[in-house]
Amino acid sequence: MDSAPPRTTKNSSNIPGIFLHVSKLCKLKSVGVCENPKPTNDSSFHSSSAPEANCCVDNRDWKIHPQPLEEKLISSSGCLEEAVISRLFTTISALKSAYVQLQQAHIPYEPKKIHVADELMVSELESLSELEHLYMKKHKCDSKFQSSLCLKIQEYREVLAELQTKIQCRESEIARLRSEVEELERKNVELEQNIKQQMLPEEELFPLRKELTPALFFEVFKFTSRSIHDFAKPLISLMKASGWNLDEAASLISDSVLYAERSHKKFAFEAYLSWVMLGDAQDVCFSLEQFDRVMSFRDPFDALMEDPDSNFGRFCRSKYVMVVSSKMEFSFFGNSDQRAFVLSGGHPRTAFYRAFTRMARWIWALLVMVHSFIPRAEMFYAKRGDDFSKNYMESVVNQVSTEKGEKLKVGFTVTPGFKIGSTIIQCRVYPCRM
């Protein structure tokens, strides 16, 4: 009896060829999940690692549903990196198990099992390739994100440097301005000290009854001239704001005067105030009995509130209605309430009237001293057209240009002068060319 021909078997030299074949088949594919698998009769194929495979054993009996690996990993684990590492170890274990099955299918040689094991190897290798692709993709995205983040950081650093430069410039500007403010404050202190040195202290002015001298009278005269100048400023401003023609008003006060500068017309309004306030005064208003009390107040309006019907109070009421006409007050404030209140014996608490009382107190004090000298001090005015004389006159402007050999003439008197015995206090005049 003839013996059966020996069974042909695959030797181990074919295994590298199989791996070469498997490696050629490796390409990027979608990983699938299995649905409704049919039972197989070949129970010898199944091993402990078979359920972990990503594809079915027999493509004819399984339905493949593509599902992105990234979504699957993220859904199974909150962190993608942890899921990739866990999946990597699982896939390597499954690949190892598939390789063992492939070796077992060769001894003894069983083509069907070899084919199934080969498909399983391809599936696991595809899973590894997909994991590698996913890792590289994430690494590339992270690199792009880091590069973009670095660009943003660099951009913000440049903005920060620019802002710091601006802050330094602002700090330098603040330091410069602070230095200027300190310098201005220092100059203001010096000016205040100079003014205090030039001004006679109030405590020396108030007790006038102790020593009434021409020198003291001259100091009061300077305060009086300054107070007239100070009140003329708001008066002119209100007239300008109310639509008054200042040129025409100045011409009515001092007609046919050639002013060297247009701003010199303010002296015409000062002359008007001086003429009204110093003229037509009643002797009863200038008693020394109330002088010390009125001059002791820092604010003359407080003296009026303490005794509204005093000599000083009657002087303020009579002079206010003469300086500020009804038409003028109505144009200033739209009514004549202040005038009516003054005529009824009151003193309105308005800024305009309070400014008026500051001027009125110095003029009242000057007139008190005029009537207190024995013999009484004499008031005099320079007439328009008189030659300018430095012995009796003081110019209110520094310099007036004249032709060669031409003499300056008096345009008008701004503040009258006084003669106390042999002492002459010059009148203040506006000199001009005639």
Q: 401, 304, 424, 427: which is closest to 356 by C-alpha? A: 304
Greater pLDDT, 142 or 22 = 142
pLDDT at 422 over 80: yes
Mean residue pLDDT of the chain comes to 78
| Residues 397 and 260: beta-carbon distance below 8 Å | yes
pLDDT band at 405 (very low <50, low <70, confident <90, very high): low
Q: What is the pLDDT of residue 412?
A: 93
**Residues recorded for the chain:** 434
| Residues 286 and 367: beta-carbon distance below 8 Å | yes
| Residues 222 and 369: beta-carbon distance below 8 Å | no
Q: 362, 108, 134: which is closest to 230 by C-alpha? A: 362
Q: What is the pLDDT of residue 254?
A: 83
> pLDDT for 343-395, tens place per residue?
999 999 999 999 999 999 999 999 988 888 877 889 999 998 888 888 899 99
Greater pLDDT, 200 or 174 = 174
> pLDDT for 10-68, tens place per residue?
444 443 444 444 444 443 333 333 334 444 444 443 433 443 434 334 444 434 444 55
Q: What is the pLDDT of residue 76?
A: 52
How far apart are alpha carbons 161 and 145 in whole angstroms? Answer: 24
**H-state helical runs in 13-79:** 15-25, 69-76
CB atoms within 10 A of CB 160: 10
Q: What is the pLDDT of residue 349?
A: 93
How far apart are alpha carbons 126 and 25 in whole angstroms? Answer: 9
Phi, psi (deg, nearest 5) at residue 211: -150, 105
Packing angle between helix 80-106 and helix 15-25, nearest 10 degrees?
140
Q: 274, 314, 241: which is closest to 418 by C-alpha? A: 274
> pLDDT for 246-271, tens place per residue?
999 998 888 778 888 888 999 999 99
How far apart are alpha carbons 54 and 94 in whole angstroms? Answer: 10
> pLDDT for 68-122, tens place per residue?
555 555 555 456 677 778 888 888 888 888 888 888 888 888 888 888 888 888 8
How far apart are alpha carbons 255 and 253 in whole angstroms? Answer: 6
pLDDT at 275 over 70: yes
